[in-house]
A and B are shown apart, each in its own frame.
Chain A
């Protein structure tokens, strides 16, 4: 029996989760929400994490009914992510590891998402679409690595959605993407936008510039409503994501798809993926906002897998890095 606690703080979510042999005992989270029209800055986000770290940790322990001495391993996010929030969260992890005299493991954030998705859905060897505010990748496992088959060559899909939400001055509560999703449900008129797929890669920066420039005039003249624009944007960017996922599936001969990351809880994206997957006679695995959005349990789960194969990070190597590719990690826990 191994109990792992995970600390996640690579972006604007601070999460602490406790996992005991594949069972999530607790997974509280606190999100830094900025005013409409504004994104979150590293310095302020790090302060948010420092302010809430102890409360969230306490909540995680109480909810799981676990005492510190029962925990076997401390896991934290090494990267990728924003520097200051990562460092603030890692500091808490290092401190408790020394206080409680427990081993510590540095976890790749993307691997955390994949392992959590596999745990919750039971997917065995899926093609993974990882979509969030900072990442857009199509990943498949082969020979001890999660290999990136396709990815964005500029900004992430979530970043594109978030920045469009700022143009419309949508609320960041609970998240800009969620509010776009709600408006999109009422959209009717479809606006054609740049659709950029290059092989298995995608690009969103041209699309974002286009809509940022066009939106004010289209809204002013009442040609399109904000609902129509949200709808058109979602339809376009999601179609691009489904297309590259399908191409990767065809390329790898895969019959399973797993969607992870914050954008992955979008119902429309899940529905579109489901249609594509059914047409291919394959299976879709997706989760809800508890596990799609950044959380502590996913770090604990990935760390738990690593710890079971004997991995531990020496204290002097418990650093953080803003750039940490998914395919840099040797996957010791899979065949």
Chain B
């Protein structure tokens, strides 16, 4: 009936390439997880589709680039969205630039990441699964366009705790994907702080980040 080509199978969804009334489109279809109780599974799938669409929209309103959503089909749990042309993940970009020793490009990327996340948190959007794989890049090093994707675990919270945990999740994914990158991550944090206008809430967020880091460390207790 419709022509779709499997692009990629991730942990939770299959991505298909498709043509949506003349527009290049990606279909993200969340498949059933057989290991989960069916009630829990459909609850989570439903919740995540809604979160994904909502956060996507709210990010756009906050001036953050995201793929345009064309349509949602709750029957087969799929989201139809714009295909970002010639993207490279931030993960790949960092790997490539590190291999070339291009530290100025890396710093420029870190600046853009920090600014984008600051905008997102100013809009009280919590991404929930920040990794360098969930950031798509377009354009040249001095003029990078950064798209945020994969909002399935997102939520809307104003608290410093949630924003701090969001940064913590990124820090963990960042440091485990890119060895010896603490300095680059610090640049992201600095740019995040510089871009955040509400200085008081920004301080609270960074203090929470430090608290959550300690919590993780302290959790090595008995067992």
Contacts and interface: CB of A to CB of B under 8 A. Distances in A.
A197 B47 CA distance: 13
Nearest to A86: B222
Interface residues of A, number: 56
A41 B8 CA distance: 51
Interface stretch (A17-25, A119-127, A146-154): A146-154
A325 B40 contact: no
A149 to B, nearest CB: 6
Interface string A7-27: 000110000000000000000
Given A197-B153, A198-B128, A133 B222 contact: yes
B129 interface: yes
Contact of A134 (B212, B217, B223): B223
B37 interface: yes
A153 B215 contact: yes
A326 B129 contact: no
**Secondary structure class of chain A's binding surface, majority of residues:** mixed
B33 interface: yes
Contact of B219 (A81, A151, A158, A250): A151
A135 interface: yes
Contact of B223 (A132, A197, A273): A132
Given A199-B129, A200-B173, A251-B177, A239 B40 contact: yes
Contact of A10 (B11, B36, B222): B222
A326 B43 contact: no
B220 interface: yes
B148 interface: no
Contacts of B100: none
Given A239-B40, A247-B11, A109 B165 contact: no
| Shortest beta-carbon contacts, A-B, top 4 | A134-B223, A134-B222, A132-B223, A199-B169
Interface of A: 10-11, 79-82, 109-110, 132-136, 142-143, 147, 149-156, 158, 190, 192, 195, 197-201, 235-236, 239, 242, 246-247, 249-251, 261-262, 271-273, 275-276, 279, 294, 322-326
